[in-house]
């Protein structure tokens, strides 16, 4: 196991050193992949799932984020997603989201590749100007009919009718991936492919406890990539990291530019 080159939490100096070392490396590599989690949206006022005031500390994922829960009580599930949509609609992307959009532009300007893989369904990366995102867990602004399967964008918050109905009369469900469901086929393959050919992978604001997403850093490592973690707290893949930047992504990511 490779020991992380700089992980000394109390010495901000080290974080500064790591930031300048990582910034230099990012300016030299032809391919960068980033994986983001709920932590990148925390500074925008969106609660994480497992953090101190995390959603799963207050709500039961089994009662709200599974196909069984929806079959059992679609209204309850939609009340929760409607509440989250209203919260997200009032939120703004933060410095972390904008920094990644800028990093992508700079990579494109030097004919390098930049892949943004996100576990987030909040759409804040899109609103910050990021493009061609690989959304592993779907999108809270998409709805899909459980009858005819039609998928459409719906940004109504709050929703007039709970649960909302499709034109065919059947219930609409949130366009997100629930526990026990498959990740969107093409999206997952493209994420694995990007990680298996990247030179640097940034893993930002995720506890790296939910698979298969948390396994992507290992794919990148096994392919010889360097891994950088941005998180104020330890995550499930710190042992894979070459750089660990202990801090808030909204503060650290802009400094990588």
Instruction: Enumerate binding residues for ligand APR (CB under 6 A).
Output: 37-39, 42-43, 48-51, 54, 119, 137, 205-207, 209-210, 230-233, 235, 248-250
Active-site entry in 84, 97, 137, 173:
137
The first and second tokens of residue 82, run together, are: 């409607």
Residue nearest to ligand APR (CB): 39
Active site residue 137: yes
Which H or E run contains 18? Answer: helix 12-26
CA–CA dist 49, 28 (Å, integer): 35
Nearest approach in angstroms of CB 114 to ligand APR is 19
Ramachandran angles phi, psi of 105, nearest 5°: -60, -45
Which H or E run contains 174? Answer: strand 172-176
Answer whether 95's CB lies under 8 Å from 250's CB. Answer: yes
Nearer to ligand APR, 166 or 252 (CB): 252
Nearest approach in angstroms of CB 142 to ligand APR is 15
Nearer to ligand APR, 54 or 147 (CB): 54
Give the pairing type, strands 134-135 and 243-245: unpaired
CA–CA dist 202, 198 (Å, integer): 10
Nearest approach in angstroms of CB 49 to ligand APR is 3
Closest CA to 128 of 236, 20, 36: 36
Nearer to ligand APR, 37 or 112 (CB): 37
Nearest approach in angstroms of CB 148 to ligand APR is 26
Catalytic site residues?
137
């Amino acid at each position: 196991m490779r020991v992380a080159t700089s992980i000394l939490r109390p010495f901000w100096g080290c974080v500064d050193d790591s930031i300048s070392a990582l910034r230099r490396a990012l300016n030299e590599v032809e391919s960068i992949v980033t994986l983001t989690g709920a932590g990148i949206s925390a500074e925008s006022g969106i609660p994480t799932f497992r953090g101190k005031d995390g959603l799963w500390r207050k709500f039961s994922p089994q009662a709200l984020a599974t196909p069984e829960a929806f079959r059992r009580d679609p209204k309850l599930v939609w009340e929760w997603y409607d509440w989250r949509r209203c919260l997200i609609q009032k939120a703004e992307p933060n410095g972390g989201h904008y920094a990644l959009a800028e990093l992508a532009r700079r990579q494109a300007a030097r004919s390098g590749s930049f892949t943004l893989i996100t576990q987030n369904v909040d759409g804040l990366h899109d609103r910050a100007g990021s493009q061609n995102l690989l959304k592993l867990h779907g999108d809270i602004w998409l709805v899909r009919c459980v009858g005819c399967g039609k998928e459409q964008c719906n940004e109504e918050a709050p929703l007039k009718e709970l649960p909302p109905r499709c034109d065919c009369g059947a219930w609409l469900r949130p366009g997100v991936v629930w526990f026990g469901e498959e990740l969107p086929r093409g999206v997952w393959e493209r994420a694995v492919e990007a990680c298996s050919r990247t030179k640097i992978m940034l893993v930002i604001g995720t506890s790296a406890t939910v698979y298969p997403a948390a396994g992507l850093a290992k794919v990148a490592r096994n392919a010889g990539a360097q891994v950088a973690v941005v998180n104020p707290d330890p995550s499930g893949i710190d042992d894979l990291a070459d750089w660990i930047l202990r801090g808030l992504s909204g503060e650290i990511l802009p400094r990588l530019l």
